[in-house]
Every structure is written in C-alpha cells, then in structure tokens.
Chain A
Amino acid sequence: EVQLVESGGGLVQPGGSLRLSCAASGFTFSSYWMSWVRQAPGKGLEWVANIKPDGSVKKYVEFVEGRFTSSRDNAKNSLSLQMNSLRDEDTAVYFCARYDSGSQYPQHWGRGVLVTVSS
C-alpha cells in the first residue's frame, strides 16, 4: 500500500525557515515523480513544486522560486521541502504527492502538514 507521511510543520515567524519531510513507503520511491501541493486555510489547491525521480529536474511555482527548495533522498525514501524567507501567505497545509506510473498526474497523496507563518 502506498503511504506518504509528511512531517516538520509548525509555527514560524515571517522571514523564518522550515523544512518539511515526506516519508514514502509501499512503492519504489526512486521510480516516481513527486510533488508538493499546498492549501491555505479555507482555500483551494495550489501546486508548489515537482521533482523528477532522480532529482535532476525540479520545477517550482513562481512565487516560491528562490525561497523553496525541493530535494529527495532515494536511499531513504524521503522527500523534502526546504522553505526559507517564509511569508504570511505561505501559511497552508502542505501535501506531498506521488505521480502515477505514467508521470501524468498526482495519484497518491499524504495527509498533509500545517505550516503557520505568523508573528
């Protein structure tokens, strides 16, 4: 069974940093594109970042480019999102997701982790 478990969320002040992790199990992690998607309180879904199976290609939404960095450790079946220079508007639940075998769409999702940016 595919399982994705996010961790590392919490309360951080504006301008601060946080590192999210996503522990994957139940599949061959190194074979799949992975994604981060977020959802601000009461709002819709917003794509944040994608990373290729070998980590060689990373894509970001414009408003996190230069502040967020996605990485993966295929030996540890782990995905990470390093978030720097956090802003109030980054407050959201962050989901990690695994793409389908054809690399077309996010198929399996974790439960998400809450990040609150506030002074």
Chain B
Amino acid sequence: DIQMTQSPSTLSASVGDRVTITCRASQSISSRLAWYQQKPGKAPKILIYKASSLESGVPSRFSGSGSGTEFTLTISSLQPDDFATYYCHQHYSYPLTFGGGTKVEIK
C-alpha cells in the first residue's frame, strides 16, 4: 500500500500569510495526486488535481506542485475562508489512500 504522509499536522497562520503543506508518498505516484479542503461537518472539496491543475472555480491563490513522491500545496495569501483541514490523496494505485490531514488554524 502507498502511504501518504502530510506535514505539518497542524499549522497556525495569520490572514495574508503564505502557507505551504507537504505530502510525501512512500513510492512514486507520478502526478496522480489531488488536494482537498474540508471544513467541519462538510464534505471534502476538490482544490487541485493531477498534482498541479487548479479545479474550476477554485481561487488562484491555491497552487500545487510536485511529482513522484513529494508534493506541495501552497496558499499564496491566506484568507479567512481558508481555515480548514487539507488532505492529499493518491489515485495512482489501489488501495487508494489519503494523507492524515493538515489543520490550518488562526494564529
């Protein structure tokens, strides 16, 4: 099974900060990585697919990069609506797996 390790698990930041979340795969997954945002009591929302493609309707302050085993999600200027938990997800091979999540909190 491919393990997805996210870091940090919690991140405290202020509005306007640049935020970077890292996701590492235990083996190469090419660019088969997606990023999701989830708020409490809500369904996950797709942000990035194929490691770096921005989903339609998602603000351009979100960006993704990486391939192989190391990936990053960057929020260029954190907004109040961005305080949430973020998950990476590999869809390269079964069983599909998610990272443990990164909670972005208000500093």
A residues with CB within 8 A of B? 37, 44-47, 50, 59, 61-62, 95, 100, 104-107, 109-112
Q: How far is the CA of A112 from the CA of B32 in the complex (A)?
A: 25
B89 within 8 A of A: yes
Q: Scan residues 40-66 of chain B and give those whose CB is less than 8 A from a CB of chain A.
A: 42-46, 49-50, 55
Residue of A whose beta carbon sits closest to that of B96: A47
Q: Mark B83-106, 1 if CB is under 8 A from A, else 0.
A: 000010101001111111100000
Residue of A whose beta carbon sits closest to that of B6: A44
B residues with CB within 8 A of A? 32, 34, 36, 38, 42-46, 49-50, 55, 87, 89, 91, 94-101
The answer to whether B44 and A109 touch across the interface, beta carbons within 8 angstroms, is: yes
The answer to whether A59 and B94 touch across the interface, beta carbons within 8 angstroms, is: yes
Q: Take A44-B87, A45-B89, A59-B94 as given contacts and tell me if A106 and B99 are in contact as well, using a CB distance cutoff of 8 Å.
A: no
Name the distance in Å between A23's Cβ and chain B's nearest Cβ: 15
Name the distance in Å between B93's Cβ and chain A's nearest Cβ: 10
The answer to whether B43 and A95 touch across the interface, beta carbons within 8 angstroms, is: yes
Residue of A whose beta carbon sits closest to that of B4: A44
The answer to whether A109 and B43 touch across the interface, beta carbons within 8 angstroms, is: yes
The answer to whether B98 and A106 touch across the interface, beta carbons within 8 angstroms, is: no
Residue of A whose beta carbon sits closest to that of B43: A109
The answer to whether B98 and A105 touch across the interface, beta carbons within 8 angstroms, is: no
The answer to whether A47 and B97 touch across the interface, beta carbons within 8 angstroms, is: yes
Name the distance in Å between A101's Cβ and chain B's nearest Cβ: 11
Q: How far is the CA of A62 from the CA of B99 in the complex (A)?
A: 18
Residue of B whose beta carbon sits closest to that of A63: B95
Q: Take A47-B96, A47-B98 as given contacts and tell me if A104 and B44 are in contact as well, using a CB distance cutoff of 8 Å.
A: no
Q: Take A110-B43, A111-B43, A112-B43 as given contacts and tell me if A105 and B99 are in contact as well, using a CB distance cutoff of 8 Å.
A: no
Complex contacts, B99 vs chain A, CB 8 Å: 44
Q: How far is the CA of A61 from the CA of B1 in the complex (A)?
A: 10
Complex contacts, B36 vs chain A, CB 8 Å: 45
Chain A to chain B contacts (Cβ below 8 Å), 24 pairs: A44-B98, A45-B36, A45-B38, A45-B87, A45-B89, A45-B101, A46-B98, A47-B96, A47-B98, A50-B94, A50-B96, A59-B94, A59-B95, A62-B95, A95-B44, A104-B32, A105-B46, A105-B49, A105-B91, A106-B44, A106-B89, A107-B55, A109-B43, A112-B43
